Amino acid sequence: MSFLHPGWLMLALILPLIILGAVLAYRRRSKAWRQLVAPRLRTQLVREAPQTRRWISLSLGLLGCALIIAAIARPYQGKTTTTEQVNTRNILIAVDTSRSMLVKDGSPDRIATAKAMALELTNTFSNDRIGIIAFSGNSLLLAPLTIDHSSVRDTIGQLDTRIIPSGGSNIAAAVKTAFKTFSKIGHRSNALIIISDGENHNKTIDSIAEQISNGKCAISTVGVGSKEGDMIPDALSPDGKFRDVRGNAVHSRMIPDALIQLASAGGGIFTEANSNAPSAIRDSLAFLESNEQESLQISLPNEKYPWFLIPAILCLISSIIVRSNILSSAKHAPITACLLLVFTPNDIHAATNLERATSAYENKDFETALSSFEAALDQTKGDDRHTIEFSIGSTAYRLKNWPTASRYFSNALLSPNKGLCEAAHYNMGNTLFQSAWSMFKTAKETDQPQAKTQTFQLENLTAAITQLEDAISHYSATIDLNVEHKDAQHNRAEAEKLLKQLKDQQKQKGDQPKQGKDDKPKDKGDKPKDKGDKPDQKSNGSQQSDKPQQGDQDKPPEKPNDGDGQKPDQRDKPAPPNKPQKQQPGETDEAYAARILKENADSETRPVKSQFLRVRRTTKDW
């Protein structure tokens, strides 16, 4: 007899230690009561229990543990070899992974519907060789033809719209990849099943259909999506909609024309994705003959673990019965308490942290509230995390910790709750506005009466402009979700006003490098309205009452000095190279050539400005 996992047998080394501990404990206990009671009174005061039951119970328990260890090691005796004759067909499943498959007119979207349909087809053709092709702008054979359907299912589970970087939808490329794969095998029973929404941005579908008609490959197609369609989502877009190169939101719907044409050319059928689609496709491909493959031999060990497990259970039960007093509630109270602590749901701890955080927030102890909310977040799963993330952002906003507030408000934007998304967008805009506002620094008071001014550092100007632009986009997203949000409309107007002034100031800084005393733009807009709510409410961000003061405007800046009288655009212009001189008397040809090369060497040693390569998007990349 052998063991599949012999390493578990090392646990048997613990059993002698248990025996040694039991013997020492018995001797210590016996010695203790003998010292307490006089020998002449032992017969009257002490009735010694028979130790036979104790040692029998211990022996049965140890034997049961030893048998359990042996069962865990999975003992077996010999192996059984079975031979299976496999008759298969070659079936490739091509799944559309273009961006249009993200449209949520399926359950929940087209790509999820396509993956579910591919899994059902894998189960339907359980005796055939199956491979997986993913295609969008290009196509890729992800899983070669195999009878190992578990690996095929793993490949299907990894499909998403980012698996192929090139955009677009090229059904013809998937057909070509299938033909290339079938040509390497040489069998005649080949079939291709295409799962797509039917959008085809390649104009070679007619020629491909003609090749299919002349070939020996059966093709069936499955359409996913609805004929009404919906907008293509884009998580990176402020309004959540994908836009083409012209800036127009893209509406996608199922177009079955190309799928019907390919199915007709391949002798198969076209069907929409539903519960009857797998059986309909199976019937359409029934005419394909199965190819006899090599025999498959499978060797399985004859496991004998029940021989050890059943006696182990009986020994443990017998041990408990022999020494039944160990079942007393007093001895098991600590064990019960430990089990209650171990199996206490995390939700109870999370609820306690939420109550502590809410109480601290109401008492304006924002530091304690922040730490309690973060502890509750670690113990919370699902969509409730977004609510707690919003609460953390609100608490960090109260503490003027703009980076933390921005990070958690950004996470709350992923919530499926429309009300929470609206509040997160609004508070995100307030946070970015406050972050930009905090870049204004007040100058220190001096001894001169008129020296109290406010200045703005030039190096932070670009960062402030960027944050204001982001704040405006979040205010706009709030208004898109709720057109009656007056505070968002007011704050967006103030942010746009301040942004315009900062951009004008940036332009002046670029034209006039040396400004006067005050570079701060005048007439900044008011700080954004923000009505503070409790962190557990899906509403607007925290309220700030301290408004930065506006700076005084000094005299206009002086005209920058142009240096040596050159125009500004000529200062850094390199001087033209000197004309090469003629060969001097007595100068050799080699020396003359070396001097000419030195005089005409490139004197420009400054680093070359980096140039970013812009990848041109295709007209249709969805």
Indicate whether 501 pLDDT > 60. yes
Q: Quick check: is 333 in a domain?
A: no
Q: Quick check: is 234 in a domain?
A: yes
Is 151 in the same domain as 174? yes
Eight-state DSSP code of residue 326: G
Record the tokens describing residue 234, joined without a space: 């884009």
CA distance 619 to 391: 42
- How large is the greatest C-alpha to C-alpha distance in the chain, in angstroms? 138
Q: Which amino acid is at 35?
A: Q
Average pLDDT (78-82) is: 82
Q: Quick check: is 590 in a domain?
A: no
Is 218 in the same domain as 182? yes
Q: How many C-beta neighbours within 10 Å does residue 69 have?
A: 19
Is 507 in the same domain as 429? yes
CA distance 436 to 402: 10
Say what the pLDDT of residue 592 is: 77
Residue appearing with tokens 């000419």:
596
Give the end of a domain, one of 511, 526, 545: 511
Structural domain boundaries enclosing 52: 2-78+306-327
Indicate whether 548 pLDDT > 60. no
Is 104 in the same domain as 249? yes
Is 108 in the same domain as 7? no
Give the residue from 522, 513, 507, 510 showing the smallest Cα distance to 554: 522
CA distance 224 to 254: 7
Say what the pLDDT of residue 188 is: 76
Is 57 in the same domain as 93? no
CA distance 431 to 281: 55
Is 64 in the same domain as 166? no
Q: Quick check: is 480 in a domain?
A: yes
Average pLDDT (161-190) is: 87
Task: Evaluate whether 79 touches 132 at the Cβ level (below 8 Å).
Answer: no
Is 98 in the same domain as 68? no
DSSP 26-49: HHHHHHHHHHHS-GGGHHHH--PP
* Band (121; pLDDT cuts 50, 70, 90): very high
* 3-state SS, residue 546: coil
Chain-centre distance for alpha carbon 577: 57
What's 482's domain CATH number?
Answer: 1.25.40.10
Q: What are 216-273's pLDDT values in tens digits?
A: 789 999 999 998 999 999 988 888 899 888 888 999 999 999 999 999 999 999 999 9
Q: Show the CA angle centred on residue 256, arms to residues 254 and 258, nearest 5°.
A: 125
Is 136 in the same domain as 283? yes
Q: Quick check: is 335 in a domain?
A: no
Lowest mean per-residue pLDDT among 420-424, 557-561, 614-618: 557-561
Is 94 in the same domain as 234? yes
pTM of the complete model beyond 0.85? no
Q: Quick check: is 539 in a domain?
A: no
Q: Structurally, how many domains does the chain consist of?
A: 3
Q: Quick check: is 251 in a domain?
A: yes
Give the end of a domain, one of 236, 269, 292: 292
Is 149 in the same domain as 204? yes
Say what the pLDDT of residue 40 is: 66
* Band (92; pLDDT cuts 50, 70, 90): very high
CA distance 352 to 346: 10
pLDDT mean across residues, the chain: 76
Q: Quick check: is 350 in a domain?
A: no
Cβ burial of 433 (10 Å; 0-12, 13-18, 19+) is buried
Is 38 in the same domain as 93? no
